[in-house]
Structure 1
């Protein structure tokens, strides 16, 4: 009966006409690139993702801000203020930057072979099967955010900045190199300025996109920093409606966990990696056969508490009105 319900839900008309989440993310990324191009064309000085803004209103890469302070061995109020602003954004949106704006996952798709795609799919499926085993055994304890090799690279990044006096990692950062390559190509076309960077930067990027395919999971210090900041994120998290989820009917459905690029299990946060690694890509919601996954602004606990408070307030008003009516002389 549960399986039939899942089959029926797959046929729901509302699910077919939607734009794929991967397409939406690509559109957002292209829009960012176009905005950078417009800034170059009209010399607005708005910058790139490494440091973007207008006039005194600006945002800087949070890792770059920390590297600047470590490299200068000084307290930089403006850099710290900008870092605090980015930290606040991370608390609200988590690691959404990694899924929607960062160039690495977008360009890696173009350099991924069928064999590599199959290997990545197998990794996700194996991670999903482990979470299913834990679910069947009743071990639905949430995965605790853990430090990994990325955090070691983050520490080495800040240490190298302090030792050498400048942000060393920025020399190989794929985000910075992507936009640096774009700018160099722009200047080559517009001003006929060929430089060695037109060869070096793309070469480094190809190594990072093709050879270091585990960059996001094993190396990226920016992702490590965002995962630390995202520990305070409680909004826009994947939330499973258990009245719809097939697992609540005893079906060992692993669809959401097997498509998650971060190896997260949204059902119980019992996957290989913690929910703080969620990039809000919404791939799980798109794949769910019964549309049981949402990304609400507020988590269920906050909504329930708010509803309870409103209910208690209404009850208090009702009691007060009843008391007033009872004491009123006829």
Structure 2
């Protein structure tokens, strides 16, 4: 059915975009609270990976079904659809899309912004170093249970500098999303960087056919400011219908395609 939507111009943008937004919002409502806990209250350097050993009993990640279900879906989507988890299921992507609705954001990429695409890999490397080499230290003590935001403020007062640095970077890069569209997702997300490494090996994707004339209209339509099957493509489908040559397809990419 998805291939048919890609092949029929009258259904492209409206149907795919509404489906994408609906699924993304539903996923945010389901796991968004866990995302907040991971960013603002997780006691470990790397959030979302040590939930079974976490003393924050109010965190949704304490539920085994939530924890293993999330990682099971994450891995399955990575194998079949590359970075589609980012574009369809990640609460962070939803937050960045909301931030991008403001009237002060840049239209095209600001000058030199492509030079910082390595930053997400640096974030991934830092996370792996903390997780494996440093033994995933707890840098958020003492822990307090109570209302969420008052607990965050108390945590900030007593946390170690490494935790405070992580929070400042997270909030700071998210704030940059008010000007540089999808800043966190494109340049800082370590989970997105991990998916980026396996994206090219996934089974299904949006891709360009050889008829592509590099007009870049698909890039202008894309919140991630990329083109189908290129770096940072999250298979969201926003580019569908933007191509004047009708050369965007979805499925298994034939060998030799552009």
Same fold flag (TM > 0.5) = yes
Tell me the TM-score normalised to structure 1 length: 0.48
Paired residues, what number? 203
Q: Is the 8 A contact 1:235 1:299 kept in 2?
A: yes
Gap runs ≥5 in structure 2? 1-7, 33-58, 157-166
2:216 aligns with: 254
In structure 2, relative to structure 1, the CA distance for the partners of 1:149 and 1:93 (3 Å cut) is same
Q: Which residue of 1 aligns with 2:88?
A: 100
Structure number with higher helix proportion: 1
* Alignment equivalent of 1:264, drawn from 226, 231, 241: 226
| Alignment correspondent of 1:19 | 15
Runs of 5+ consecutive residues of structure 1 not aligned to the other structure? 1-11, 38-46, 62-81, 128-146, 172-183, 270-274, 303-330
Q: Deviations over 1:27-56 (max 9, x none)?
A: 11222244459xxxxxxxxx96x687649x
Tell me the equivalent position of 2:176.
Answer: 211
Name the SS for the 2:68 alignment partner. strand
| Structure 1 residue matching 2:205: 3-state secondary structure | coil
CA distance, structure 2, for counterparts of residue 16 and residue 154 of structure 1: 34
Rate the CA distance shift 1:240–1:53 in 2: closer, same or farther, 3 A: farther
Q: Is the 8 A contact 1:124 1:257 kept in 2?
A: no
CA distance in 1: counterparts of 2:189 and 2:12, whole angstroms:
35
Q: Please point out which of 108, 122, 147 is paired with 2:108.
A: 122
The alpha-carbon deviation at position 14 of structure 1 amounts to 2.3
How far is 1:206 from its partner? 5.0
Residue 299 (structure 1) aligns with: 253
Larger Rg: 1
Task: Map Cα deviations across residues 104-138 of structure 1 (whole Å, 9 max, x no partner).
Answer: 2322233343121xx1x2218999xxxxxxxxxxx
Match of 1:59 in 2: 69
Contact 2:83-2:192 within 8 A present in 1 as well: yes
State TM-score, norm by structure 2.
0.59
Does 2:15 align with 1:29? no
